[in-house]
Amino acid sequence: MSPPKTVEQIRRLIELEQVAFIFGTLGTASNAAIRPYLNDNKVPQLFVASGDSMFGDPQHYPWTIGFYPNYRSEARNYARHILETKPDAKIAVLYQKPAFVDYLAGLRDGLGADHAAMLVKEVSYEFSEPTVDSQVFTLQAAGADTLIIAATPKFAAQAIRKAYDIGWAPVRYLGYPSASIATVLKPAGLDKSKGLITAFFAKDPTDERWKDDAGYKQWAAFAAKYLTPVDLIDANAVDSFCAAATLVQVLKQCGGDLSRENIMRQAANIKDLELPMLLPGIKINTSPDRFYPIRQMQLAAFDGESWQLFGDLIGN
């Protein structure tokens, strides 16, 4: 992904194609690059495919709204779980720079000043690097017994596999963007992924518990018509399905007024929207001063075959 190239293409869409809005663009750096241009030109940048907290800042960027739970909140929840279950933990963090810096901020927020010393090592990687093997060795050498993996799918799979292969067995928390069994855990090795902890806001399409669920059946019918069998079990495809369904709701609320102003107004006024593949109890809500549509998640642990949800919904 090239932020300068993204800006070039977005300008083409707006100035030549005259599109009404931008939807679901992927990546923290690319979205950050196009955000000033879109806001200066009052073009809605809807449901950004990044959990960075910067995309929920209506005071400074009123034309940009995120979609996913933000990474900072997710990491705070991991910190709270660590404090509850392993208060003497020595924590290490692997994160992509700059896309997942928010995980570090959220972890520090969750630990607080009194427990700041629990974070013993943090190591970043660049998207252009071939592997994160050396980073995993560095984190192990720091004596950590708890690892937070804030990485994109390819590197998350590498980290899971390498830690296992070198005999390092920390308690592992995996950022939800890489919690897909199909695209991350299988390539890493299901046996090597056993024990991972993550947080979900959507139903896991590989989990048998949902096979008779009405919402899952809607997803399966959609996937059968428009997608592939691989997409059916891909958590990332489910997340995109949820974002697209939210956009449909926005357009319905617009009625006959599809001006950019009204599109943005409706995106910022969604009330208790229930979607087929959101976990029970989670609803989409936005307001003019709250640009985080999904604010709740639930922890889950991988048992070697599927993710097992546990505890109550977390967040607000």
**φ, ψ dihedrals at 131, nearest 5°:** -145, 170
CB 246 within 8 A of CB 232: no
Distances (CA, A) of 168 to 135, 152, 161, 162, 174: 13, 21, 10, 9, 16
Task: Name the CATH superfamily, with its identifier, for domain 3-69+216-296.
Answer: Response regulator (3.40.50.2300)
How many other CB atoms sit within 10 Å of the CB of residue 45? 25
Compute and round to an integer the Cα radius of gyration of the chain.
Answer: 20
Per-residue tens of pLDDT for the chain, all 316 residues = 688 899 999 999 999 999 999 999 998 889 999 999 999 999 999 999 999 999 999 999 999 999 999 999 999 999 999 999 999 999 999 999 888 999 999 999 999 999 999 999 999 999 889 999 999 999 999 999 999 999 999 999 999 999 999 999 999 999 998 998 888 999 999 999 999 999 999 999 988 899 999 999 999 999 999 999 999 988 889 999 999 999 999 999 999 999 999 999 999 999 999 999 999 999 999 999 999 999 999 999 999 999 999 999 987 6
Distances (CA, A) of 136 to 4, 133, 237: 31, 5, 29
Which class in CATH covers the domain with range 71-200? alpha beta
Question: Do 71-200 and 3-69+216-296 have the same topology in CATH?
Answer: yes
> For the chain, which residues make up each domain, given as ranges?
3-69+216-296, 71-200
